[in-house]
Structure 1
């Protein structure tokens, strides 16, 4: 999959702005919708373009080749859509999908905390009051909280009894407040902020799934797999830039560029196969390893781009695009679940004897 020419030109023209400021934050999602990326991997009956979740991964990769800020927004939005697709709540899905697919309203995953909870890393940060379906809590880092409107998936702990559920809240819910954009060093147009819930009222119609412990392992492969699209797209672009600069004097880099390109293709294949077969549901550690490997490939790829560019990479005029990709690459290891969290989870699997 490739981004259509109009969207590609807009992303290339504005990639630096999308990375360093939030001026175009409100325009980004509608642009991605107009470029046909929001429906990738959704059934035609649901309003999508057909295919499966691997087509969603490829759409995120295609956007990320031009701008990881765009890929990041698309990942958050497409992940929320995936939650609706994997929800038994058909009414909620039918009510929200049209506006989501048109880019009129944003979808925010909000389940990074839940994925860490699933791996035993932290407790859920949103709770339901004992006396009613009223939510309280705080999510300090959520992406795609578009000021023009958003829906947000949250995992909710039942403090008064065992278990947790997944709910959808919205920007205009009484008791929900969005912070100012976080002061992040890159990806500034991604509408990344914190959310506080204080007495947000919901009903059964906004429950994505009643049992988080059952549902989260089912949706985790899509959540992480779609996230891998950012790494794939950024690595592809950095390697393409490096290949384009293998002039005399830098041909020593030819072999490592070829080898790293081959490694990237292999991990992409492993990801597609695992997502299509459903293997990652039973063996999430295999997906963790792919995510870690892709992050390593990204860092090597931007390193090769720098070596192929030389000192020109440090000049503002000639090195602006490389500097942006360097900042984008620095984000890949820390996006939740971070590499440290994934490696911690893998270590726990090994200690339990679940991983060879």
Structure 2
């Protein structure tokens, strides 16, 4: 996908500052929205540009090739939009979709804990109790991106202590009892508005219910959640391979075959993601998507390693590394994005053990 040249120039100019935290995070959402990126894969009837989810995956990949920070914000916003698209609460979608597509409202996905809950990895960290007209919300989201200090809505899965059935809710930051921490002290992606959120008896109106049954809703949104996340690795891998090719001259031309093989592998996995998400394959076979995400992260890390080899000593000089140092940190982030590679590999190992029993 080809991005708007104005956006590309802005991303390239500010990529290091966005990663290091010296750029204003508030500028990211409006820039992405102005380029129409949040509308990709969103039905025309919902105010989008139409197309498929794979169009949004490719857009995230294109942005990630310039700035992983901006792509991470893009992912959080687009996944929240996906929750509204798949929620039976059409009134909520109608009320907030326009603001999300325009970048006027920041949407954060606090469902990383929920995805681990779905895989039996950990318990839910948020709970609700029935109250007049809705619920009282308590608990913590330890890590979420796109938590704009001026206002956001965060999606959470929560144990309903009254009904005993976990549901999925959108919680606006304007509620009394919702507290956002300072931005987390990350080693990179620092201008991504990444923080934690605490709920202390926050009174949530019933109109903010995304789905009453987390066990039904989470598997439905998981393919988009993980598929869009794959765009982060695809974009970084492509950019590192391109950079390595630009440096692989003379003695370093011995890297050409490795770069060709790596590039072909990235594109093959990118096609598998697009086809599986758009075709619905991963609804019934989520572990196939787990394997693809693991593979893409490994390919992205291998691509950055080849860029290091191609650049040689220049990669270790501030003035000559051409963004390599930032890409090295970005690659280090990919394996720990929830669900992390360790968590995905653990789930695949459990499945193999069950099948072997």
C-alpha separation in 2, matches of 1:90 and 1:84 = 8
Q: Answer whether contact 2:14 2:23 (CA < 8 A) is retained.
A: no
**Correspondence 1:274 to 2:299:** no
**Correspondence 1:256 to 2:258:** yes
C-alpha separation in 1, matches of 2:173 and 2:131 = 24
Structure 1's unaligned 5+ residue stretches are: none
Output aligned runs, 1:219-230, within 5 Å.
219-230=221-232
| TM-score in terms of structure 1 length | 0.98
C-alpha separation in 2, matches of 1:16 and 1:218 = 36
| TM-score in terms of structure 2 length | 0.97
Shift of 1:320: 5.2
Correspondence for 1:198 among 197, 200, 205: 200
Q: Answer whether contact 1:245 1:308 (CA < 8 A) is retained.
A: yes
**Correspondence 1:64 to 2:36:** no
Q: Answer whether contact 2:156 2:170 (CA < 8 A) is retained.
A: yes
C-alpha separation in 1, matches of 2:162 and 2:353 = 32
Structure 2's unaligned 5+ residue stretches are: none
Structure 1 equivalent of residue 150 of structure 2: 148
Secondary structure in 2 matching 1:129: strand
Structure 2 equivalent of residue 39 of structure 1: 39
Structure 2 equivalent of residue 89 of structure 1: 89
Shift of 1:176: 0.1
Structure 2 equivalent of residue 80 of structure 1: 80
Shift of 1:131: 5.3
Output aligned runs, 1:81-160, within 5 Å.
81-129=81-129, 133-160=135-162
C-alpha separation in 2, matches of 1:41 and 1:5 = 21
Deviation string for 1:59-96 (max 9, x for gaps)? 11011010000100000000000000000000000100
Structure 2 equivalent of residue 12 of structure 1: 12
Structure 2 equivalent of residue 23 of structure 1: 23
Bigger mean CA offset, 198-207 vs 188-197: 198-207
> What's the C-alpha RMSD, in Å, of the aligned pairs?
1.3
C-alpha separation in 2, matches of 1:39 and 1:315 = 40
Structure 2 equivalent of residue 181 of structure 1: 183
C-alpha separation in 2, matches of 1:128 and 1:208 = 14
Q: Answer whether contact 1:15 1:66 (CA < 8 A) is retained.
A: yes
Question: Structure 1 runs of 4+ off > 6 angstroms?
Answer: none
Q: Answer whether contact 2:37 2:59 (CA < 8 A) is retained.
A: yes
Bigger mean CA offset, 161-170 vs 222-231: 161-170
Bigger mean CA offset, 320-329 vs 179-188: 320-329
